[in-house]
Amino acid sequence: MNTLNATQLAPLLNSYTINPGPPRTIVVPHASKLAALRDVTVLGTLLPKQVLLLKMGAPQIPRPPATQVGNGGYHKAEADGDLHFCLGVKPLQPHIPCEIQHATNWLTVFNQLIGQQIRVSGFFRCLFEHPGFNPKNDAHIFEIHPVRAFQQGNALHPIDVVKPDVIHPWSARLNQQDAAVKVQYDKAKDRLTFSNVGMLDTNYVQLAGKVSNLKLSSGAGVPSSFTFSSPQIGHAVAVYCLQDTTAATELRKLKKQTITLVALRNIDLAQTIKTVNYVISLVAIDIQ
pLDDT tens, residue by residue, 53-104 = 776 643 334 445 566 655 578 877 677 778 889 999 998 888 999 999 888 8
The pLDDT value given to residue 69? 58
- What's the predicted TM-score (pTM) here? 0.93
Of the candidates 195, 28, 217, the residue with the CA atom closest to the CA atom of residue 126: 28
The pLDDT value given to residue 141? 95
DSSP 104: G
The pLDDT value given to residue 199? 86
Which of 113, 138, 158 corresponds to the end of one domain? 158
The pLDDT value given to residue 62? 44
Which of 158, 190, 210 corresponds to the end of one domain? 158
Sequence-ordered list of residues with C-beta below 8 angstroms from that of 207, at least 6 positions apart, any chain: 169, 170, 230, 232, 233, 260, 261
User: Measured between alpha carbons, how far is 278 from 116 in angstroms, rounded to an integer?
Assistant: 38
Question: Residue ranges of the chain with pLDDT lower than 50?
Answer: 57-63
The pLDDT value given to residue 77? 67
Do 192 and 224 lie in one domain? The reply is: yes
The pLDDT value given to residue 67? 62
Do 174 and 152 lie in one domain? The reply is: no
Do 12 and 130 lie in one domain? The reply is: yes
Asked if the structure places residue 163 within a domain, the reply is no
Q: In CATH, what number is assigned to the domain containing residue 196?
A: 2.40.50.140
Do 141 and 179 lie in one domain? The reply is: no
Report the DSSP beta bridge partners of residue 211. 228
The pLDDT value given to residue 65? 57
